[in-house]
A and B are shown apart, each in its own frame.
Chain A
Amino acid sequence: MARYKHRKRILAHLPLAGMACLFGFPFYWLFISAFKDKSQIFKLPPEFLPHPWMFENFVRVFQETQIVRAFFNSVVIAGGHVALALFLCSLAGYAFAKFPRAPGRDKLFAFVLATMMIPVAVMLIPTFVVLCKLHAVNTYWAMIVPTAANAFGIFWMRQYAAQNIHNDLIDAARIDGCTEFQIYRRIVVPVLKPAMAALGIVLVINIWNNLMWAFIVLRTESMYTLPLVIYLLHGENRTPFELIMAASVIATFPLIIAFLIFQKNFIQGITAGAIKG
C-alpha cells in the first residue's frame, strides 16, 4: 500500500518536470545560443548544441560594448529605486493602514489606486518634460525616482500592514513615549520585512528589465543600463545576434540568482495577508 502510494508520487513528479522543462526551454535556448557561432543561431532544423562552444562571443561582448559599466549602472539604479520605493511605500502604506480616522484617508487611497488604470505609454511625454525642466535627464535619478511612488506598492504595503501589525504593540509604544517615526523604525519595518522582500523582487524585475523608459531618458553610453546596451546592438539590417544572446545571459543571470535566493521571503511576503484583505 505504502509502496503504491510512493510510486504514484514519483510518477506525479514527471508531468511537473515536463512542464518545468517547457517553461524553462527559452532559457536553455538563450544559454546555448550565447555560445553559438553567428551562422548557427538561425538554422532550420535548429541545432540543440553549439559546436564549437564560442566563448569568444562573451569576450567580444566585453570588448565591443560597455557592458561592465552598464551592469554597474543597472545595479545602482535597481538598488536606489528599490530602496526609495520600499521606503516611500512602507511609510505611506503603514500610515494608510493604521491611522483610520485621518480625514480624507480613504479618498486619497482610492485616488492613488485609480491611477493604476492609466497606461504608461500615455504618460511618457509629460514625465519626460518634467525631467527636462528639472535638468534630470540622463541621470540615475531619472530612472530611480519617477516610478518609485508606486500605486501597486502602496496597496501591497497597506494590505500587509493592516493584517500583520497589531494595534496593541503600537499603542504600547506610544504610551512608552516613542515618537511616531521610532514606531515606524522599530516595530513596523521589522514586521513588514517579508512584504518588502516580495515587493522588492517585483520592483527589481521591473526596473532591471525596463527598456522603454531607459531608452528615453538615458542618453550617453556611460549611463546606459543592461537592457539598453543589448537593444542598441540591433542595427537597421544587420544585428549580431550571437552578441545579443551572450549579453542577455550576462544581463539575466543576476535576476535568476536573486530570485533563487529570495524565493522563500517572496512567497512569505505574499502569503501573510497581502491578498486576504
Chain B
Amino acid sequence: MRQGLWRRIWEHRHFYAFISPFFLIFAVFGLYPLLFSLYLSFVQWDGLTEIKWVGLANFQNMLHDELFFTSLWNTLVIGLLYIPPMFVGAFLFALALNAGWIKLRGMFRAAFFMPVITPMVVVAIVFSLIYSQEGGLLNYVLGGVGEVFPSLKIKPIAWLTSDTWFKPALAILLVWRWTGYNMVLMLAGLQGISTEYYEAARIDGAGLFQRMWHITLPLMRPVFVFCAIMSLIGTVYMFDEVFVLTQGGLGGPGVSGINFGLYLFNTSFADFKFGYASSMAYTMAFLVFLASLLILRLRKTEN
C-alpha cells in the first residue's frame, strides 16, 4: 500500500513541484499565522507582557459578552439592508450594459466600478458631507422634496448620529461601493450565456419575463452563488466603511454602529486583547464556513 502511494506521488511529481512555490509562501505567511492565531484564542495576551494560557476562558467570556452579540446583530441587520438592493441593482445594471444597443458601455462600466477604486479617505470626506445633518447633501435633497410635498413633514435626518438612521446610511454607502463590483461579475456571467438559448426561446414564443425566469436566472446561479459567498464574507468582516463612518468606532451612535469587523479590530488594536480577538475570529470563521457550505449546497441541488 505504502509503496503504491509513494509511486503515485512520484508519478505526479510535477504536480507537487508546481504547487510548491505557492505552498511555500502559503506555509510561511498563511498557515503559520493562522495556526499561531488559533493558538492565541486560548490565551490572554496584550502584545507586550507575557502570554498566559487560559484554555476555554475566552470562549466562555464570549458567551457573556453583550457587546459581541450586539455587534453580530448589527452585522446581520446591515447585511440584510444592503445586500438585496445591491444584488438587484447589480443585476439590473448588468442587464442594461449587456444589451447591445447601449452606447458608451465602457464608460458606464468604468463609472460603476469607480467606487471600488476610491480610496477610503475620500469616501470618508465625501460621505461626511452627504450625511451632515444641517446642510448635508442628502438632507438638502430631502428638504427640497419636503417643500414640494409638505404633507410628508420631512425633517432633516441625523444620519450618522441617530440610532435608527445610522444603519441605513451605512447601507447606502455599501450599495454605492459594491454594486459595481458585483455588476461586473454578473455582466461576465450574462455574457457567458449563449444567445442560442434566447433564440430558441423566442422562436418558441416565450416572452421577456419567461426568458428571464427559465434561462437567465438558472444559468446565472453559479455567479449568484459566488457573489453571495463573497458578500457574506465581506459583510461579516467589513471594517473600512464602518470605521470611516463612525470616526474610528468612536463617533457612531452608541452601539448601533458597531459591527463585528469593527469590534474585532477594536478588541485587538485598541484594547490589546489579542487572545480574545482570535477566539472571536475563529468562532465567526467557523460559522461563516458553515453558512458558505449551505449556500453551496443550494447550487448543488439544482444542478
Direct contact between the two chains A and B in their complex (CB within 8 A):
yes
Assess the A16–B274 pair: CB atoms within 8 A: no
**Cα distance, A187 to B99, chains bound together (Å):** 34
Q: Tell me how far the C-beta of B97 lies from the nearest C-beta in chain A, rounded to whole angstroms.
A: 8
Chain A proximity of B279: nearest CB distance (Å): 10
Instruction: Give bound CA distance, A25 to B234, whole Å.
Output: 24
A115-B34 contact in complex given A99-B12, A231-B121, A244-B121, C-beta closer than 8 Å: yes
Residues of A within 8 A of B129 (CB): 29, 46
With contacts A45-B140, A115-B34 taken as known, whether A260 is within 8 angstroms of B106 at the C-beta atoms is: yes
Stretch in B59-67, B73-81, B186-194, B203-211 touching the partner = B186-194
Please determine whether A145 and B233 come into contact, CB atoms closer than 8 angstroms.
Answer: no
Complex CA distance for A124 and B278, rounded to whole angstroms: 11
Of A41, A118, A244, A264, which one neighbours B34 at CB under 8 angstroms? A118
Q: Are A46 and B137 in contact (CB under 8 A)?
A: yes
Q: Is the interface of A mostly helix, strand, loop or mixed?
A: helix
Complex CA–CA separation, A16 to B106 (angstroms): 13
CB-based contact B187/A267 at 8 Å: yes
Query: How many chain-A residues does the 8 Å CB contact rule pick out?
Result: 89
- Chain B contributes a number of interface residues (CB within 8 A of A) equal to 92
Contacts of B284 in A (CB 8 A): 119
- B128's closest neighbor in chain A, by CB? A42
| Chain B residues in 8 Å Cβ range of A145 | 25, 29
Partner of B119, one of A12, A13, A230: A230
B 11-43 binary contact with A (CB < 8 Å = 1; else 0): 010111111011101101111111011001000
**A126-B37 contact given A88-B22, A252-B118, CB 8 Å threshold:** yes
Report A-chain residues with C-beta under 8 Å of the C-beta of B102: 12-13, 16
Give chain A residues whose Cβ lies under 8 Å from the Cβ of B245: none
B237 adjacent to chain A (CB < 8 Å): yes
Closest CB in chain B relative to A203 CB, distance in Å? 13
A127-B29 contact given A12-B102, A26-B126, CB 8 Å threshold: yes
Say yes or no for B184: interface residue by CB 8 A criterion: yes
A-side contacts of B226, CB under 8 Å: 275
Q: Would B191 and A271 count as touching, CB distance under 8 A?
A: yes
Whether B22 contacts A92 by the Cβ 8 Å rule is yes
Question: Which residues from chain A contact B16 at a C-beta distance below 8 Å?
Answer: 102
Asked whether, in the complex, the Cβ of B18 is within 8 Å of the Cβ of A180, the reply is yes
Complex Cα–Cα for A89 and B118 (A): 27
Closest to A252 in B: B119
Chain A residues with CB under 8 Å of B300's CB are none
A66 contacts B by Cβ under 8 Å:
no
The interface-forming segment of B146-154, B161-169, B260-268 is B260-268
Q: Is the CB of A122 within 8 A of B278?
A: yes
Q: Is B132 an interface residue (CB 8 A)?
A: yes
Interface set of A (CB-CB < 8 Å, partner B): 9, 12-13, 16-17, 19-27, 29-30, 33, 41, 44-46, 87-89, 91-92, 94-96, 99, 101-103, 105, 108, 112, 114-127, 129-130, 145-149, 151, 154, 180, 184, 205, 209, 211, 227, 230-231, 241, 244-245, 248, 251-252, 255-256, 259-260, 263-264, 266-267, 270-277
6 smallest beta-carbon distances between A and B, as pairs: A44-B135, A126-B33, A270-B188, A95-B18, A102-B12, A92-B22
